[in-house]
Structure 1
Amino acid sequence: MKGEGRAECGGEVLAEDLDFPSDDKSLFSDSTTPISRLQGNITWRRPQEICQSPVLFPDNINLGHAKQGLLGDCWFLCACTILLKNKHLLNKVLPPDQPQWGDSKYRGFFQFRFWQQGHWTEVTIDDRLPCINTTLCFSRCHCPTAFWVALLEKAYAKLHGSYERLWAGQVSEALVDLTGGLAEHWSLGDLGSEEEQRPEQDSDQVRRRRLDLNLLYPVRDDCALSCSTQSSPGGASELGQYHALTVLEWLDVKTSSGSKVRLLRIRNPWGRCCFGGAWIGSGAGWSSVDPVCASELQARVAEGEFWLDEAEFMTQFDDVTVGYPITKEGHLKSIYTGCLLKHFHQLPGRWVKGHSAGGSRNSSSYGTNPKFWLKVSERGEVLVSLLQHRKWRKMDKYAQKPPEDSKNTKHQHYQATALHMWKVEKKRFNLSRMLNKPPCASTHCHAYEREVVLQGQLEPGYYLLIPSTYQPGAEARFLIRVFSSSSISLSALKSPAPSLPLTTDGEWETSYFRGSWVEGRTAGGSRNFLSHWQNPCFPFTVCDDPAVTSGVNIRITLHQSRPDTDLHPIGFHIYKVSEGASVQMIPRDEDPVASCVPHCYTQDVSLDCSLLPGTYTILTSTYEPDCPADFTLSLARRIHRKVVKSQERLGRAIQETRSRALLGPEHSRRLKRPQEQMTSGRIEGMK
């Protein structure tokens, strides 16, 4: 385990996670939430120090549900319920057969996995848990000797940076992180809320759709359903702020009059009922149901659970989150049709100010947003999601705002985004003319959500997807995911980057280098791999004239010598090195001064940049190791030399072609080495 320390306990050597230590650094991020009052009162204990015979799961699985502690993470705990219903999802998040307490192989740590930005990420923790005296102060199981919830919560806190960062969130986000699937947020209350009347909206905005339980009935046993409230249902004053609860089951029950009533069993993470209705305890509603049926349904209610009928459910809660079912084979099941969506593609992207952050359709720069080709081979159901990377709030700025202000918090974490799609009849088309037409499908309004989803039945053909932020110039990284019942392909349409300013007081000098990525030797792959530094390197100097102190324009192009049908994703990084030093002397956690990433499936990738005088090296790579290929690298440097002015004139104008550039490296929040991502698809045109 990274950052591992050691501790002795009963003769056994137990791990201590130094990256997520048992102190205030792991508990608090900005000390703006109510748990900041716990500073100085927390002790950290292992499960065997809390009870005599700890286990991960109790024999009675109903006692394995989460019970919320002093941390405001009901949103996360509601999502955890889906794991108890689906063994294959639980095994994905918590790999089975890990040594536990009492096992001779037990060493005091556990491994978990969470889905992050398109990939499963492993998180390892030790099992020291925050307590007040000898009692867990945060989430736990209803069974006091079961610890899977407390350990999963700690791993999720480590992923986010601290326990405090789990205070307030969206059930949909936790569901996606725990399943790798999709989740949608639907309204139950009055349409047209204050937030939906904000000025951040397109000309084609529609109000958030209302939930129709009949739509979900075919998948009711497989999907995850959570409800939330921002008011006080049933007059329960303690629910006067945002709170999420879980819908465990729902069914239609025949009444004595012959009609049917739909009942929903709700679990409150607080572990107690905060609602008074016709079906609570021995409420009046049960008198209308057959006594045997009533007795059976009432017997299902455990601690913190209660029944509501559909009318009560629709009026007492404000919205619901629906998590898509996922089969044991890993396929998504549509909540709209129940169809299996066996075909899947995903691609990363980013909005860059001045380059690809074009804003909404209200803006004249909308056409500069990232664009993606979607090819549909046969008619079928297609789901497209736009998931943006979370941006963590700045502590000093956030501290000025109340932590319970969920709207402000959400807006600081995410940009307002939307996704629009046009059907393209021909491979060549006029972009401006097409964008003036209504899209064939869209998410309609820009929403401050981590993920927005577009669904529809699509005919065969080509479609253009354009994700956008509401404000022009708003920067963020994102992931486009497509799930479909029929065969599809997804590729990025590259837009040229702005060229360097034209200069009239200098000339360009170009050098050419040839190199090879050799399997097992110099094909080291991207920065995600330790072998990255085995890739070919090409040193160069930028202007050794001491009189030059400003930046010098550099133009670098990497060309791979492979057929167009068998390309590797390629890219390169530029590192600053000391004079006379080799690439082996560069610290392995050193950030490049410039990069041409993400890696792209194309013959050529280029970067224009400005570098200060000094010594540099270019490190070229494929995305994965051991991808052999020959390549050519061209390096053009502007020479600081005065040009003799003359009256000569050209008889014909010369047009310069603009190279394509991707600005800046992509970083990972969790690993020391940035997690690079690659785009799949050609530079131009469609497959």
Structure 2
Amino acid sequence: MQHGANVVGSRSCPVRFLGQDYDKLHQDFVRHRARFLDSSFPPEQSSIGPGILSAREAASVVWIRPTKMINNPQLVIGGESRFDYTQGELGNCWFLAAIGAITFQKDIMDQVVPAGQTFTKDYAGIFHFRFWRFGKWVDVVIDDKLPTINGRLIFVHCKTLNEFWPALLEKAYAKLCGSYADMSGGYVSEALTDFTGGVHMTLRLAEGHPELWNLMYSAARYKSVMGCGTPPGTTPANTELSNGIVEGHAYTVTGVTKVMSHSESVKLVRVLNPWGHTEWNGNWSDGSPLWNTVSEENRTRWFHSKEDGEFWMSMEDFCGSFATLDICCFSAAFLDGSSPGTWTSAQYEDCWDTNTSGGSMGHMESFWRNPQYRVKIPALSPDSQETQGWNLLVSLMQKPVGKHRDLQPRLHIGLGVFPVPPGMKDQKGFPASFFASNAPVREAEACINTREVMESFRLSPGAYLIVPYTRNPNETSSFILTVHSKSKYDH
């Protein structure tokens, strides 16, 4: 969520992660002609974490600054590109897929990778990056020592050997998560949110969404960032299928378009494998003869045959190959193609404690104790040409208390949305009897132990009650509830 200018935690005034002030540290080390060494994320095995390297590999690790690794190191060469990097020995394709998405948005990249950082002028071995984290922007300081074996970077690395923005960005996020190992395994939605602080929704493609193409097309028009994931399959992780798709893998959606082929309109989706190679080989792939059936203008504009991990596929093949689609945008207006001013966002930081943790709806005698939030959905104007689209998006995110992302025991969480009868619109707190006689708008999703639960709704006009809950009563955790609601309609 965006905060007002100069408010601590806003885009323009991020929180100093672990209290480290980049500007002050940088000035001090420049003045003393010294190189920064980060004691809060030291260049040693504890920062890599367990389970990634064998004992033999771990013993071979040497942490090296880019200035000692290669001549003329650069942070960025010719702008950040989705083709700059290749995944290393870490299962963080979800993170790299999100990086591929934000390289299209200069304003996002400039927020995440602050300007003025270089290996030449006033170089002191210190860099910083910015991420949205649980409701606030944070500024993460790192030293530039990177883990290598035999002089080669272990984790993400650039195809251009003297370019280092992906490796340093990955290190900063590893520090935020607790270690490199804490980044092993995740969902692209998490990284997209942490790069943007935007409105996020996940669609499960197997459920079938008749409006999916229009939603993706609208999302692209609103400069959204998108990612997708394949189902895990029954074979070992990251198994490449005969069609070139990798099972249990995160990808970036880099484009959507329509072309005419044999006098028919074909909807196409462009997808990027963060490995930088291994591509779909079916219809509309780099080697597909179908590209010979489109106009020369469209072929020149959209088609390129190169082993870079990026490929086109039809909308039908996309939905048949991928399990989830994640969309992240600065405004919920992409949901219905409206102007951003027609949507309102509210963010609540709260907690479940011994008094306010009533459990899920299977615990009806205590469910009413959960926190309760009101939202109002306006009516369409009588002369409106609009149909009832999505008008409520609710995100529930639990906040960890410890240092390590991957070691947090996450609660099973969920949320319910209940219609409020007209006679109860001034009700302050809803008792057990209300929930015993009023069902949620849609059957609540099963509680899941994930960082975030997101639900989107098409609701009739009226007042509603949002109730976030844990699976069992008396489970305690802090959480952030974000409510994006349609507040008015375009004329």
- Asked whether the two chains share a fold, i.e. TM above 0.5, the reply is yes
Alignment of 1:647-686 (within 5 A): none
Paired residue for 2:6?
none
Contact 1:140 1:150 in 2 (8 A): yes
Paired residue for 2:278?
273
User: Residues 81, 430 of structure 1: CA spacing in aligned structure 2 closer, same or farther, 3 A cutoff?
Assistant: closer
User: Residues 162, 210 of structure 1: CA spacing in aligned structure 2 closer, same or farther, 3 A cutoff?
Assistant: farther
Paired residue for 1:597?
none
Paired residue for 1:417?
414
Paired residue for 2:393?
383
CA–CA distance in structure 2, aligned partners of residues 414 and 237 of structure 1: 36
Say whether residues 1:246 and 2:252 are aligned partners: yes
Letter in 1 for 2:314: D
SS in 1 for 2:147: strand
User: Residues 151, 320 of structure 1: CA spacing in aligned structure 2 closer, same or farther, 3 A cutoff?
Assistant: same
Equivalent of 1:264 in 249, 269, 272: 269
CA–CA distance in structure 2, aligned partners of residues 392 and 210 of structure 1: 42
CA RMSD of aligned residues (A): 3.4
Say whether residues 1:134 and 2:140 are aligned partners: no
User: Residues 296, 121 of structure 1: CA spacing in aligned structure 2 closer, same or farther, 3 A cutoff?
Assistant: closer
CA–CA distance in structure 2, aligned partners of residues 187 and 210 of structure 1: 12
SS in 2 for 1:40: helix
Q: CA deviation at 1:443?
A: 5.0
Letter in 1 for 2:64: R
SS in 1 for 2:327: strand
Give a deviation string over 1:397-424, Cα, whole Å, max 9, x none. Answer: xxxxxxxxxxxx8994342322323325
Q: CA deviation at 1:463?
A: 3.3
Q: Indicate the larger mover: 465-474 or 119-128.
A: 465-474
Say whether residues 1:14 and 2:31 are aligned partners: no
Say whether residues 1:467 and 2:485 are aligned partners: no
Q: CA deviation at 1:225?
A: 1.9
Letter in 2 for 1:249: G
Paired residue for 2:367?
366
Say whether residues 1:124 and 2:148 are aligned partners: no
CA–CA distance in structure 2, aligned partners of residues 180 and 264 of structure 1: 25
Q: CA deviation at 1:185?
A: 2.1
Letter in 1 for 2:295: D
Q: CA deviation at 1:14?
A: 1.3
Q: When the two structures are superposed, what TM-score results if normalisation uses the length of structure 1?
A: 0.58
Aligned length: 444
Higher strand share: 1
Alignment of 1:53-92 (within 5 A): 53-59=72-78, 61-62=80-81, 65-92=84-111
SS in 2 for 1:16: coil
Letter in 1 for 2:415: A
**Stretches of structure 1 lacking an aligned partner (at least 5 in a row):** 192-207, 396-408, 488-687
Q: CA deviation at 1:310?
A: 1.7
Letter in 1 for 2:340: L
Give a deviation string over 1:18-74, Cα, whole Å, max 9, x none. Answer: 11000001111xx23456663112111112222222222221644664421111101
CA–CA distance in structure 1, aligned partners of residues 102 and 255 of structure 2: 15
CA–CA distance in structure 2, aligned partners of residues 15 and 254 of structure 1: 57
Paired residue for 1:46?
65
Paired residue for 1:334?
334
CA–CA distance in structure 2, aligned partners of residues 19 and 34 of structure 1: 22
Paired residue for 1:212?
212
Q: Indicate the larger mover: 433-442 or 246-255.
A: 433-442
Letter in 2 for 1:265: R
SS in 1 for 2:155: coil
CA–CA distance in structure 1, aligned partners of residues 114 and 27 of structure 2: 23
SS in 1 for 2:98: helix
CA–CA distance in structure 1, aligned partners of residues 174 and 333 of structure 2: 29
Tell me: higher relative CO, structure 1 or 2? Use CA pairs within 8 A at least 6 residues apart.
Answer: 2
Give a deviation string over 1:317-362, Cα, whole Å, max 9, x none. Answer: 2222222x22xxxx5533344441553321112222x422211112
Give a deviation string over 1:468-521, Cα, whole Å, max 9, x none. Answer: 12233333221111234438xxxxxxxxxxxxxxxxxxxxxxxxxxxxxxxxxx
CA–CA distance in structure 1, aligned partners of residues 33 and 411 of structure 2: 45
Paired residue for 2:7?
none
Q: CA deviation at 1:432?
A: 2.8
**Stretches of structure 2 lacking an aligned partner (at least 5 in a row):** 1-19, 234-238, 381-389
Alignment of 1:174-573 (within 5 A): 174-189=191-206, 191=207, 212-221=212-221, 222-229=223-230, 230-231=232-233, 234-235=241-242, 239-240=246-247, 242-255=248-261, 257-291=262-296, 293-299=298-304, 303-323=308-328, 325-326=329-330, 331-340=331-340, 343-352=344-353, 354-363=354-363, 364-374=365-375, 381-390=391-400, 412-425=409-422, 426=424, 427-428=426-427, 431-435=431-435, 436-440=437-441, 444-456=445-457, 462-486=463-487
User: Residues 36, 62 of structure 1: CA spacing in aligned structure 2 closer, same or farther, 3 A cutoff?
Assistant: same
User: Residues 389, 261 of structure 1: CA spacing in aligned structure 2 closer, same or farther, 3 A cutoff?
Assistant: same
User: Residues 338, 444 of structure 1: CA spacing in aligned structure 2 closer, same or farther, 3 A cutoff?
Assistant: farther
SS in 1 for 2:163: coil
Q: When the two structures are superposed, what TM-score results if normalisation uses the length of structure 2?
A: 0.80
Contact 1:2 1:19 in 2 (8 A): no
Letter in 2 for 1:422: P
Paired residue for 2:171?
154
Q: CA deviation at 1:78?
A: 1.0
Paired residue for 1:525?
none
User: Residues 360, 414 of structure 1: CA spacing in aligned structure 2 closer, same or farther, 3 A cutoff?
Assistant: closer
SS in 2 for 1:239: coil
Q: CA deviation at 1:167?
A: 0.2
Contact 2:281 2:287 in 1 (8 A): no
CA–CA distance in structure 2, aligned partners of residues 311 and 440 of structure 1: 31
Paired residue for 1:101?
119
CA–CA distance in structure 2, aligned partners of residues 237 and 306 of structure 1: 10
Letter in 2 for 1:25: S
Contact 1:7 1:16 in 2 (8 A): no
Letter in 2 for 1:101: F
Paired residue for 2:385?
none
Q: CA deviation at 1:441?
A: 5.6
Give a deviation string over 1:187-243, Cα, whole Å, max 9, x none. Answer: 224x5xxxxxxxxxxxxxxxx978822332222242222121123564268934x21
User: Residues 211, 285 of structure 1: CA spacing in aligned structure 2 closer, same or farther, 3 A cutoff?
Assistant: same
Paired residue for 1:547?
none
User: Residues 162, 35 of structure 1: CA spacing in aligned structure 2 closer, same or farther, 3 A cutoff?
Assistant: farther
Give a deviation string over 1:103-122, Cα, whole Å, max 9, x none. Answer: 1x222111222112211112
CA–CA distance in structure 1, aligned partners of residues 66 and 411 of structure 2: 37
Letter in 2 for 1:417: G
SS in 2 for 1:467: strand
Contact 1:187 1:211 in 2 (8 A): no
User: Residues 65, 423 of structure 1: CA spacing in aligned structure 2 closer, same or farther, 3 A cutoff?
Assistant: farther
Contact 1:233 1:316 in 2 (8 A): no
